[in-house]
Amino acid sequence: MSNNDEPKTETLAETENFLAWMAEEPDGETTYHIELNNVTVHFFEEEWQEFLELAKLLK
């Protein structure tokens, strides 16, 4: 029996020390997460888009 309360997750990118992944939450919200060693940063969709804009400026 499947549990509809569990988010569907997908890895977006991964290195030896970092991981970026997204989750489709049961309420329809998509959240994004970046794991940096022992710290995880969580983003909602609008925050994620702004973070990606910031990351592009870091070049």
Q: 5-43: buried (b, 16+ CB within 10 Å) or exposed (e) per residue?
A: eeeeeeeeeeeeeebbbbbeeeeeeebbbbeeeeeeeeb
**For 10-56, what is each residue's pLDDT tens digit?**
999 999 999 999 999 999 999 999 999 999 999 999 999 999 999 99
Model pTM score: 0.86
**pLDDT band (50, 70, 90) for residue 59:** confident
Residue labelled with tokens 């969709």: 45
Q: Domain locations in the chain?
A: 8-57
Q: In this predicted structure, what is the pLDDT of residue 26?
A: 93
Q: In this predicted structure, what is the pLDDT of residue 51?
A: 97
